[in-house]
Homo-oligomer: A and B are copies of this chain.
């Protein structure tokens, strides 16, 4: 293992170690099932022991890693049932605020959504898996933010992190990715036409994949 950010070893740590580890888990760098040794993380992210412990504890609380006393922490194996349950939760929440999203969508907001949809579409061709992941996140975050319920937005953001630990296994085919992109545009169109039911159905399709 090599240090990820050697240049920032001295700089003021503006970004939490937790997010760094989380990112590496979700991009597959730290494989599901693998053990996270404190020494390794310490060296890899150039931080102290307490930082590593705090990060591992936080990830345990988020149920992204599992803690076995006196053994250590290891990345959770992807659980199909759990992923489906989280999807159901997302469907309930996101379709539940579909009407409010449409109500609050100004022309500017719609334009911004279309821009983000374009951005996602652009990185399909030349972009890493991480780029795709981030662009997708950005679109959905902007979409959901229109509902006006900040708590709901942060909640969905949080539970999304719980299951997409293996994006590779989810987005295996390029066809699926392009389908996702199309659905993004469908959502924007539905909002533009103020068609609540249409928006809901697209959201359900999109989350269920």
Contact = CB atoms under 8 A, between A and B. Distances in A.
A152 B89 contact: yes
Residue of A86, A150, A155 ringed by the most chain B CB atoms within 10 A: A155
A85 B159 contact: no
A152 B88 contact: yes
Contacts of A126: none
Interface string A50-92: 0000100110010000000000000000000010011011001
A149 interface: yes
- Stoichiometry, as copies per complex, reads 2
A199 interface: no
Contacts of A155: 89, 155, 159
Nearest to A97: B92
A53 to B, nearest CB: 8
Interface in A138-188: 149-152, 155, 159
Contacts of A48: none
A61 B86 CA distance: 20
A150 B81 CA distance: 10
Contacts of A61: 58, 61
Given A58-B61, A61-B58, A61-B61, A151 B89 contact: yes
28 contacts: A54-B57, A57-B57, A57-B58, A58-B58, A58-B61, A61-B61, A82-B151, A85-B149, A85-B150, A85-B151, A85-B152, A88-B149, A88-B152, A89-B93, A89-B149, A89-B151, A89-B152, A89-B155, A92-B92, A92-B93, A92-B96, A92-B97, A92-B152, A93-B93, A96-B96, A151-B159, A155-B155, A155-B159
